Structure 1
Amino acid sequence: MDSTSSLPDVWPEPVVPVQSLSEAGISAVPPQYIKPPKERPVFPAPSLDVPIVDVARFLDGGAPPDEQQLQAVADACSQYGFFQVVNHGVEASTVEQMRGAWTRFFGLGMEEKKVCSNSPAAPEGYGSRAGVEKGACLDWGDYYFLHVMPSEIKCRNKWPKSPHDLREITEEYGRKLMNLSEVLLKAISMSLGLDESYLHAAFGGGGGGGVAACMRVNYYPTCPQPGLTLGISSHSDAGGIAVLLADDGVSGTQVRKGDTWYTVQPIPRAFLVNVGDQIQVIKLI
């Protein structure tokens, strides 16, 4: 059964892109974006040295990882649930092309972007809210959501037609990130003492039905009162793993360890990896 079949075709209230509010020069955050006091960001938040994991030896053709490297992966996953991955094999040029293409997209006129608007029943596309509850507290950010795999669920008519090279660049970036995700699943499997293909197969790879993957490109406009709202509400990632590309030099990502939220200082050319809910509950045989 299609899980979206019971969802409405339209949002419960008119959708106002946050970018348009920011560019209008408003001096105060509208009430629907103000978070309850307990959910507001803490300034300044303490910094956290998220583990750095070098996956060079997990790439095809590399020397096999040693016990120290396997333990580093295990510790990062079990003690933090996050790590920054380096020497991952994704070329800097691919990353910069991806950043550039989507920067150009969000720089398009609002009416051109709205042609790609999504809905609760058809989540792919350009959007500014996720929940269908009327009167919900909203996040200060816009996004573009796409299915990457399997190809059967891609809605290609919702992929932007402009900039002209965005589709090609996004497809290439998606392939590279899928390759990296397979490497990460291999590393996590080996760190658990399992066959290197265990988790990849568990998620449908290698003839198991097909791995599913999606991509969300977030745009966080300037906010007049950043202490009252969030770009995206606190959450855990429901999938297996999430690979996050942060803007260089922008330390807006926060992670929770224990009961405290910490700011992550992104490393140039690194990806931030979040171990998702499915990895934590998957049955190990």
Structure 2
Amino acid sequence: MAELMSNSVQEMAASGQEPPVKYFYKGNDGGVLDSSVPLIEIPVVDLGLLSSPSTSAQELEKLKLALSTWGCFQVINHGMTSSFLDKIREVSKQFFASPMEEKQKYSREADSIEGYGNDMILSDHQTVDWTDRLYLTH
């Protein structure tokens, strides 16, 4: 069940192909927000504060809270230059614009989350995200 989908989302979008049923959320499985619940901003963690003895405990607590409640956070003061981040964006665009045969060289293995592909298919009734991704660990 955990195999890659036959067509990438990029291929389906480029050809105007209708997405398969597994991409459509049904009922409340799409995580629709209740309009009575206020939107909350994604937590921001300042890496500069993590390295300071006077502020590291507070910032570490923010990091812990962000991971335990959101599962993600925005990082500031990470030391990466804008030009470096621009280069990462450009390399990413080049990768996803490359021919499918090239991207398939980096396909994730059936039992792994790392590599190029779509959501892992864990159930025949699973709704998957309309996305192709390249997930790498370092």
1:1-285 counterparts in 2 under 5 A?
11=3, 14-26=5-17, 28-42=18-32, 47-59=39-51, 64-66=53-55, 70-75=57-62, 77-78=64-65, 80-81=69-70, 82-121=72-111, 123-134=113-124, 136-148=126-138
Report how far residue 106 of structure 1 moved.
0.1
Maintained 8 Å contact 1:55/1:88: yes
Q: Which amino acid aligns with 1:143?
A: R
Report how far residue 37 of structure 1 moved.
1.5
Taking the aligned partners of 2:105 and 2:81, their CA distance within structure 1 comes to 32
Q: Give the direction of change, closer, same or farther, for the CA distance of 1:39–1:122 in structure 2 (3 Å limit).
A: closer
Q: Which amino acid aligns with 2:12?
A: L
Maintained 8 Å contact 2:48/2:78: yes
Q: Give the direction of change, closer, same or farther, for the CA distance of 1:64–1:96 in structure 2 (3 Å limit).
A: same
Query: Aligned residue pairs: how many?
Result: 133
1:114-145 Cα distance to aligned partner (Å, 9 max, x none): 23323314654321231254464322111123
> Could you say which residue in structure 2 is the equivalent of 1:189?
none
Taking the aligned partners of 1:118 and 1:47, their CA distance within structure 2 comes to 34
Structure 1 unaligned runs (5+)? 1-7, 149-285
Taking the aligned partners of 2:26 and 2:65, their CA distance within structure 1 comes to 31
1:217-268 Cα distance to aligned partner (Å, 9 max, x none): xxxxxxxxxxxxxxxxxxxxxxxxxxxxxxxxxxxxxxxxxxxxxxxxxxxx
Q: Which amino acid aligns with 1:64?
A: P
Higher strand share: 1
Moved over 6 A (4+): none
Q: Give the direction of change, closer, same or farther, for the CA distance of 1:44–1:103 in structure 2 (3 Å limit).
A: farther
Q: Give the direction of change, closer, same or farther, for the CA distance of 1:42–1:123 in structure 2 (3 Å limit).
A: closer
Maintained 8 Å contact 1:52/1:86: yes
Report how far residue 41 of structure 1 moved.
4.5
> Could you say which residue in structure 2 is the equivalent of 1:178?
none
Taking the aligned partners of 1:47 and 1:103, their CA distance within structure 2 comes to 30
Q: Which has the higher contact order (CA 8 A, sep 6+)?
A: 2
Structure 2 unaligned runs (5+)? none
SS in 2 for 1:89: coil
Q: Give the direction of change, closer, same or farther, for the CA distance of 1:116–1:90 in structure 2 (3 Å limit).
A: same
Q: Which amino acid aligns with 2:46?
A: D
Maintained 8 Å contact 2:5/2:118: no
Q: Percent identity?
A: 26
Taking the aligned partners of 1:48 and 1:35, their CA distance within structure 2 comes to 23
Maintained 8 Å contact 2:43/2:74: yes
Taking the aligned partners of 2:135 and 2:63, their CA distance within structure 1 comes to 28
Taking the aligned partners of 2:73 and 2:28, their CA distance within structure 1 comes to 26
Computed over aligned residues only, the root mean square deviation of the Cα atoms, in angstroms, reads 3.3
